Amino acid sequence: MSLALEKYDCPLCGAKNSLTLNSDSLYVCKACGYVLGPMVVAGFKAVKSAIAAAPLSGSTDFSWRDITGRITPVFKLHQTLNKAGRRLEAEIDKAAALLSLPSVCAATAKALAGRIKRVADMETTVGALLFVACRMESIYNDDLFVKAYDAKRLRRKVVEVQRMTGVAMPPPNAKQVIYRILASVGASDVSIAKDALEVFEVLAPLIGRGKAASTIAAYLALKARGYDVSIGGLASKVWASEAVVESLLKRIKTAARRRSRGFRH
């Protein structure tokens, strides 16, 4: 909307003919520095009152009237500004329904979406928001997202979403990850799961409590029972980074060697 700025007094200090247009296309009073916003009511049909020249934000009880007499309600402008946010929320609801996710995941994803200003890849961003939301609500279903989205793009977008929203995704529950791994290789013996959980608790101070640590615990428990499994194969079943898992295994081996040397001395 293009407006013709006529002679108008500052609504704050009352200075005469003191309004000027700055480099950001905002009308500013040269006397007191008061910012009136990008649009100023002007013309013979304008309401000559202080509220008529209120800033863009901070007031909701007025409408903008240009020199042709057209009125633009405030809520229309809010709809325009929030158009991207509304579309993102609609896509979250659609994806959550397709993935059969609990409503709490969709609600948490919408809350996180309110912190995102720009969306380059709508589909992957929605998937990343739902992925982070599920983790925050202690719901582990990583394999569901891997089947629905491109794994590499989703992993990068999950990291980006955490940075944009300012949240840190908690690690999944170790019991859920271990049981998922054991079920994928057909290890139905409950004692193997108990052994893996005990190994996990022992190694947690050294390698942390993330998904890679749960994968290593399940791998060691399966190897001890004679199962022919590879660390890379187990990592892929729960969408864990094979490089991270191998680096943690090297850390365990280094710590074991140092401990054995200490016993010798």
Mapping DSSP onto H, E and C, the string for the chain reads CCCCCCCCCCCCCCCCCCEEECCCCCEEECCCCCEEECCCCCCCCCCCCHHHHCCCCCCCCCCEECCCCCEECHHHHHHHHCHHHHHHHHHHHHHHHHCCCCHHHHHHHHHHHCCCCCCCCHHHHHHHHHHHHHHHCCCCCHHHHHHHCCHHHHHHHHHHHHHHHCCCCCCCCHHHHHHHHHHHCCCCCHHHHHHHHHHHHHHHHHHCCCHHHHHHHHHHHHHHCCCCCCHHHHHHHCCCCHHHHHHHHHHHHHHHHHHHHHHHC
Whether the pLDDT of residue 118 is over 80: the answer is no
Identify whether residues 145 and 92 lie together within a single domain. yes
Identify whether residues 185 and 220 lie together within a single domain. yes
Note the pLDDT of residue 64.
Answer: 45
Identify whether residues 195 and 254 lie together within a single domain. yes
Domain count, the chain: 3
Residue 6 maps to a domain = no
Range of 156's domain? 83-165
Residue 11 maps to a domain = no
Residue 1 maps to a domain = no
Whether the pLDDT of residue 3 is over 80: the answer is no
Note the pLDDT of residue 217.
Answer: 92
Residue 198 maps to a domain = yes
Note the pLDDT of residue 25.
Answer: 57
Identify whether residues 23 and 94 lie together within a single domain. no
pLDDT in tens, 95-116: 999 888 888 899 999 988 888 8
The more confident residue out of 122 and 7 is: 122
Residue 216 maps to a domain = yes
Q: Which has the minimum average pLDDT: 69-78, 80-89, 221-230, 255-264?
A: 69-78
Whether the pLDDT of residue 239 is over 90: the answer is no
Contact 237, 177 (CB under 8 A): no
CATH number of the domain to which 159 belongs: 1.10.472
Whether the pLDDT of residue 230 is over 80: the answer is yes
Identify whether residues 183 and 149 lie together within a single domain. no
Residue 102 maps to a domain = yes
Identify whether residues 159 and 88 lie together within a single domain. yes
pLDDT in tens, 77-94: 444 445 566 788 888 999
Top mean-pLDDT range of 16-20, 109-113, 144-148: 109-113
